[in-house]
């Protein structure tokens, strides 16, 4: 088991948002977590990534058999946990390529593998950028600064491509994308999907799942998983709306 979330209660500023969440993810699987706005999708993503403002009240999260909640966010990242942000952060004055090279090299250092110098890394980055059809002109620009919403999301997937995480949590990577960008990003994710990693797609809409076929769909409402099934569940949800599952919480 790559990830095991057991009866997780977590929240922010004393307010409980996740109220007993269970989730199991194995290598090679793609899981979709769907839920209405405010249901706690980003809360789950941030708790897994280790955001310091979120507090875990009870429960357990095992990653590769280790206690994930005990690990610092940067440790988690070097160990293969990646979260694509719903709202990627701008980092003025730091170029994208500089940033990506540092992230890449930290991971390599952690694995005891060879780091890349700027020239070598540039070649590596050019290859990776093809996965999300990203223009190399974005390498020199400050991280996410002045990027459109869609470019930011694409940049998140580029980071995923560079870092090659074992567990990728993509928080609403589809939101704010037009149909072409959605296709590019989704195809990028499909290319990165492998038997060696697992992906959690966090989304409000079903449309992303037309492009990325999940193995499992979980519906989050009221801080819990209220329904689980295969990819057909997403379609049913699309048809019946979230009110259908909201009823299930009561």
Partner 1 sequence: METQFDESFKARLAAEGDAAIKALRERAFAAFTDKGFPSLKDEDWKYTNVSPIAKETWKTATAGIELEHEDAGIRAHELLERFKYDRNGLTALNLAMAEIAVIKIAKDTVVDEPIELNFAAAEGTAIFPHVVVIAESGSKATIVESYSSEARSFTNAAVQMLVEDNASLKHYRVQKDSPEAFNYGVTEVTLGKGSFDSTNINLGGAISRHDIELKFTAEGGEAWVDGLYMLDGEQHSDTHSTIDHAVPNCISHQTYKGVLNGRSRGVFNGKVFVRENASGTDAQQQNKNLLLSNDARVDTKPQLEIFNDDVKCSHGATVGQLEDEEMFYLLTRGLPETLARNLLTYGFAEEVINKIEIEAIKSDLDATVLNRLHAEI
- Which residues, numbered 24-63, are part of the site for ligand ADP (CB under 6 A)? 35, 37-43
What is the contact mask toward partner 1 in residues 81 to 120, using x (rule: CB under 8 A)?
A: -xx-x--xxxxxxx---xx--xx--xx--x----------
8-67 binders of Mg ion (CB under 5 A): 41-42
**Binding of partner 1 at residue 14 (CB under 8 A)?**
no
CB of 42 to ligand ADP, least distance (A): 3
What x-and-dash track marks residues 153-192 binding partner 1 by CB under 8 A?
------x---x-----------------------------
* Stretch of residues binding partner 1 (CB under 8 A), selected from 66-74, 125-133, 172-180, 192-200: 66-74
Q: How many residues does the chain have?
A: 250
Which does residue 52 touch among partner 1, ligand ADP, Mg ion, none (CB within 5 to 8 A, set by kind)? Answer: partner 1
The neighbouring-strand residues paired with 62 are 4, 67
CA distance 241 to 14: 30
Q: How far apart are CA 199 and CA 69, in angstroms?
A: 19
Cβ atoms of 227 and 219 closer than 8 Å: yes
> 94 phi and psi, to 5 degrees?
-115, 120
Is 203 one of the binding residues for ligand ADP (CB under 6 A)?
no
142: three-class secondary structure by DSSP = strand
Looking at beta carbons, which pairs linking 103-112 to residues 24 or more positions away fall under 8 Å?
103/77, 103/159, 103/162, 103/163, 104/162, 104/163, 106/74, 106/78, 107/77, 107/78, 107/163, 110/78, 110/79
Interface contacts to partner 1, rule CB under 8 A: 49-53, 72-74, 76-78, 82-83, 85, 88-94, 98-99, 102-103, 106-107, 110, 142, 159, 163
Interface contacts to ligand ADP, rule CB under 6 A: 12-13, 15, 17, 35, 37-43
């Amino acid at each position: 088991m790559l990830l095991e979330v057991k009866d997780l209660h977590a929240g922010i500023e004393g307010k409980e948002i996740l109220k007993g969440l269970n989730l199991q993810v194995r290598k090679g699987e793609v899981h979709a977590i769907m839920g209405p706005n405010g249901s706690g999708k980003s809360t789950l993503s941030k708790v897994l990534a280790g955001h310091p403002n979120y507090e875990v009240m009870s429960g357990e999260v095992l990653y590769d058999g280790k206690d994930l909640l005990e690990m610092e966010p940067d440790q988690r990242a070097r160990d293969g946990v990646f979260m694509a942000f719903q709202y990627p952060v701008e980092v003025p004055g730091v170029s994208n390529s500089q940033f990506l090279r540092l992230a890449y090299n930290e991971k390599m250092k952690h694995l005891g593998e060879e780091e890349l110098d700027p020239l070598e890394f540039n070649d590596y980055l050019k290859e990776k950028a093809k996965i999300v059809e990203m223009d190399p002109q974005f390498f020199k620009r400050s991280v996410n600064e002045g990027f459109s919403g869609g470019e930011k999301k694409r940049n998140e997937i580029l980071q995923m491509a560079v870092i090659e995480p074992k567990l990728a949590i993509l928080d609403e990577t589809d939101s704010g994308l037009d149909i072409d960008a959605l296709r590019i990003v989704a195809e990028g994710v499909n290319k990165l999907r492998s038997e060696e990693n697992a992906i959690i797609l966090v989304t409000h809409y079903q449309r992303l799942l037309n492009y990325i076929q999940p193995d499992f769909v979980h519906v989050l409402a009221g801080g819990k998983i209220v329904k689980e099934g295969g990819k057909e569940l997403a379609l049913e949800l699309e048809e019946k709306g979230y009110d259908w599952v909201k009823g299930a919480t009561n």
